[in-house]
Structure formats: structure tokens, C-alpha cells
Amino acid sequence: MDNKRFETEVIHKGYHATQHQGSLAPPIFQTSTFVFDSAETGAARFAGEQEGYIYSRLSNPTVAMLEERIAAMENGERGLAFGSGMAAVSAILLGLTKTGDHVLCSEGVYGCTFGLLQLMEEKYHITHNFHSMDDEDSIRSSITDHTSVIYIESPINPTMKLVDLEMIARIAKEFGIPVVVDNTFSSPYLQRPLDLGCDVVIHSATKYLCGHGDVIGGLAVGKKELMSHLAMTTQKDIGGVMSPFDAWLLLRGIKTLPVRMDRHCDNAKKLANLLKEHPSVSKVLFPGDCDFPQYELANKQMSNSGGLISFELKGDKATAQKFMNTLRLIKIAVSLGDAETLIQHPSTMTHAVVPEENRKQMGISDQLLRLSVGLEAWEDIWADLDQGLNQI
């Protein structure tokens, strides 16, 4: 990221006010198409002989600002913006695979990513399997002649399990296989997989990058050659692109990412410690907990522990649902990274599409809840959790 610090680049990178009549805020180029000054100019742009905008599905100035900013934040060469996180996941996975290929995945993934992998197998005979990603020899033995992608979440949704990204990247390079990392839970403020040797980073920009619960968007970052190829194939032709207005909202949200993430992390640490001590809680899964099995790995590859806590209650599904229904301040909602604290029940919500047997293998029980810690005073969040826990 040039020679400026992260907190500076998230505010300034990719925008020069002097080029836009001095407007402090980036303008929204809310247009579907762009006018050519001559037929020859149009022909030259379509032929790739002249730089310039053609049509907003291909590129747009507001979206380009966002793409430049996220590339700088992840220390990558080029960013791409999509209409949703799943549009980014779909474009990357389809762009890196063909019929007969194999995808090796971390043992847990977001429910819709799971569904996409199933669809790719059923329709296009692109197989996949899930792996714990713990042991180097086991990982090597799971890579086949047809493995074309290693796909990872870290932390994994919703179990918070971590994958050693540096180790995976090292193994993948032995086989010439790209590593794709969903970095949504950490944001580039806490973790930068490209710096650890991975090849593509994906974000559901809906979450921490937006921070305000009012945008659906996805972002991907990688080497310029690869991302340019994906831009002109799966992004352009499938068409899951981001709108200029959503890009503008994300540019605004990203400016406060470091400040927000510091608060999310601080609040989460306090709440995780309190949850651990409550008699109604049987297990807390949080990378910042010194008893977390991968606490040392978290300290190695993340600059802080994040704002998400998963925890299991003593009881069953009915217990978990009763607890959620007692909450007053905390909102029952999927998604994460908002100013508001949100709670959801993975086995019946975000991961309901995953068969029960697979959920159990992933460590998703009916008693497991995922808490996205917001920006409220931690004392008020805890008061709500405490009163709910005391009722069960």
C-alpha cells in the first residue's frame, strides 16, 4: 500500500478532488453508458486500443475508485467490484475452473458458497471436498491432478476456526494451484492474505467494509493479469456488477473501517470473556480468547481478533431460539459487521441449506449462535445478553 499508512489510504486512495471540480466527496457517475466523441473513438475503445469508459457493466468511474482503493487495502494489483459477495465468489470460482476440475475447500464455508459448490458439481461436474487444512501431508494427499483451486474461509463461518494461510499458500505453490481466501470476517484491516502468499481475496463488502447495513456488494483482489482476465470473462459476461451508488456508499463506509474495527474488536473481547464465565454457556469460539485452540495462529496472521463471537448454549435448538427471543437491544438478523449488534442461529438460518450431517462435521450444532458485536456500549450489549441467558 504505497508508503502511506492504512488509515490514510482508506480515506484518500483512488480519488483526486482536483480532477472533479474540487468536490471533497467522490461524485457518483450514475450513468449506464458513456458518449464517444466520434465513431472512431468508440471503435478504438471496443478494440482495446484506447482507454476510456464504454458502458457501466464494463467499468464506471465511481466503481473504479472503489476497485483501486480495495486493491491498495489488500496490497493487491487490481480489484473488482460485484453486485454481491456471492457474485464475487461465483465469478472467481467459475473463472478458475472448468468441467472435470476439483476444488479443495476449508472444512466450513458460508451456506450459499456450499450451495454454489453443489450446483457446480451437479451441472458442470466440477467436484469439491472439504478438508480440515490442519496437516501438510494430508493436504498434499487431497490435491489431485484435477485440483484447480484451493478455496478457504479464515476465520470460518460460523465456527471461527482458522486456517494457516501461509502454510496453504506454500503447499499450493508446489502444485501451481491458486489459493482463494474469503476474508470477510477479518477485513483487510485485520488480515491480508495476499501478503501471506495467497492469490485472490474475496469480501462480502456488505459486511465490515460497508459497516452500516445498507449495501449489498462484493469485492475481489489479486494479480492484475488474473483479475483483468476475470473482468473480461466471468464478471462481464455473467454481469454481476456493482452499481455506482453502491460503490459510492462503500467508499464512504470504508473511510471509517479502522476506527470501527477497533471498537468491534474491543467490545468482542470484553463480551467473550463474560460469556465464558456464564453458567448457561457451554462453549465460546473466539480467536481472541487465550483458550481458543488456534490462539497462537490468530496472533500470527491477524492483527486483532475480530468482532464475531460464536457460542454454544447448554440445551438444544429450542433453548437457543428461546434465548434469541428474549433479546431486546440485540437484533435477530443474518449478516454481520454493522453498527448494530446482530445474532443469528446458523443451523436454521445461514447454514440451513447445508445437510445436517455436513453441518455436524463442520461443528455447527443446534445450540450454536453467532454474535456480530456492534458499536454500542459493551455494557449495554452485555446487559441484554445477560438478561437473556438468565431466562434460560
- The catalytic residues are 57, 110, 182, 207
Q: Are 256 and 211 in contact (CB under 8 A)?
A: yes
> What are the φ and ψ backbone dihedral angles of 114, each rounded to 5 degrees?
-60, -45
| Spatial distance between the Cα atoms of 228 and 163, rounded to a whole number of angstroms | 28
Q: Where are the alpha helices (DSSP H) in the chain?
A: 6-12, 39-46, 61-73, 85-95, 111-124, 136-142, 165-175, 187-190, 224-230, 236-238, 244-254, 257-277, 295-301, 317-326, 356-362, 378-391
Helices vs strands, H then E, count in the chain: 16, 12
For CA atoms 165, 362, 339, 17, the dihedral sign is: positive
The label of the residue with cell 472512431 reads 40
Q: Are 150 and 104 in contact (CB under 8 A)?
A: yes
Cis-peptide, bond into residue 158, ω within 30° of zero: yes
Q: Tally the residues of the chain.
A: 392
Q: Are 361 and 310 in contact (CB under 8 A)?
A: no
Q: How far is CA 373 from the centre of its chain?
A: 16
Rounded (10°) angle between helices 257-277 and 378-391: 30
Task: Give whole-number Cα distances, 282 to 151, 242, 260, 368, in Å.
Answer: 31, 42, 29, 10
Return the number of other C-beta atoms located less than 10 Å from residue 349's C-beta.
14
Q: Cβ contacts of residue 203 below 8 Å, gap of 6+?
A: 70, 85, 88, 182, 183, 184, 187, 188, 209, 218, 219, 220
| CA-wise closest residue to 108 among 362, 295, 308 | 362
